[in-house]
Amino acid sequence: MTQKALGEFELSKRPITAKANDKLRRVFEEYEIQFLAANVEDSHLDGTGLRWKPKHPNAGIKII
């Protein structure tokens, strides 16, 4: 995948293909990167982002 293609996906200039989506998912998993989202009352995700997967995933995270 080229940097140009990735930028176009991010800017919604073209839809991401299933093949490209699978490639990105595998890269994120390989480098232990995980997606984050804050839970809100409706189905809208607020505060989405990425982080390196922590060695102790529940350390310092309060689940309410």
CA angle 62, 49, 43 (to 5 degrees): 75
If DSSP codes are grouped into helix, strand and coil, which group holds residue 15?
coil
What pLDDT was estimated at residue 45? 60
Q: What is the pLDDT of residues 24-61, one digit of tens each?
A: 889 988 998 887 776 666 666 666 677 788 777 666 66
- What are the residue ranges spanned by the domains of the chain? 3-52
- Give the pLDDT band of residue 63 (cuts 50, 70, 90): low
> What is the pLDDT at residue 50?
78
Q: Is the dihedral of CA 50, 53, 59, 64 positive or negative?
A: positive
The residue count for the chain? 64
Picking from 27, 45, 26, the residue whose alpha carbon sits closest to that of residue 37 is 45
For the segment 10-26, the average pLDDT, to the nearest whole number, is 91
Rounded to 5°, the CA angle 56-61-64 comes to 140
Instruction: Identify the band that residue 14 occupies on the pLDDT scale cut at 50, 70 and 90.
Output: very high
